[in-house]
Amino acid sequence: MFKVIDLDFPPYGAVADYERISDELKRRRDAATGGRKSVNFREKFCDNARGHRFELFRDGVLTGYVAYTMRAGIIRLHRTVVLDAFDREQVEGTLMRNVVLAAHKRRLAAVPYCPIAQGFFRQNPQYRQLTHQ
């Protein structure tokens, strides 16, 4: 379609077809996102070892954290906190996924004590093998 439109004199109806296809793609994108505009933000996940917590930032703003203790190859996930401003954005899943993968990179087994971490492991059985047995 782009090759046809790119010509100086496109064939009859090519521009209308292109606009129709573009509108249909926008409609499908809006239907998939529930009518919300896609939001592009920068996420940063880091381990605040001094504060004993994993933190997730969006556009430089702290969205939530997971408090932990670590000993003998086991990381204990005690508390998950999501700030009120980000409560409806459901950042718990992103936060917990990053925590589990960070623990896996360090070869640590996770023990979920907080209800959010326990729920994450229940809903995502592919990560259960990373928990302490």
Rounded CA-CA distance 110/127 in Å is: 10
Q: What is the pLDDT of residues 31-51, one digit of tens each?
A: 766 655 556 678 899 999 899
Enumerate the β-bridge partners of residue 45.
56
CB 111 within 8 A of CB 132: yes
CATH of domain 43-130: 3.40.630.30
- For residue 84, give the nearest of 64, 69, 101, 56 by alpha carbon: 64
pLDDT at 99 over 70: yes
Domain boundary assignment for the chain: 2-32, 43-130
The three-state secondary structure class of 114 is coil
12-16, 37-41, 88-92, 115-119: range with highest mean pLDDT: 115-119
Q: How far apart are CA 76 and CA 115, in angstroms?
A: 13
For 108, other C-beta atoms within 10 Å of its C-beta total 20
pLDDT of 66 reads: 94
Percentage of residues of the chain with pLDDT beyond 90: 32
Return the bridge partners of 16, or none.
none
Predicted local distance difference test score (pLDDT) of residue 68: 95
19: phi then psi, degrees, rounded to nearest 5: -65, -40
Which pLDDT tens digit goes with each residue over 46-69? 999 899 999 999 888 889 999 999
DSSP codes, 56-73:
EEETTEEEEEEEEEEETT
- Give the global pTM: 0.65
Rounded to an integer, what distance in angstroms lies between the CA atom of residue 14 and that of residue 1?
8
How far is residue 75's CA from residue 111's CA, in Å, rounded to a whole number? 6
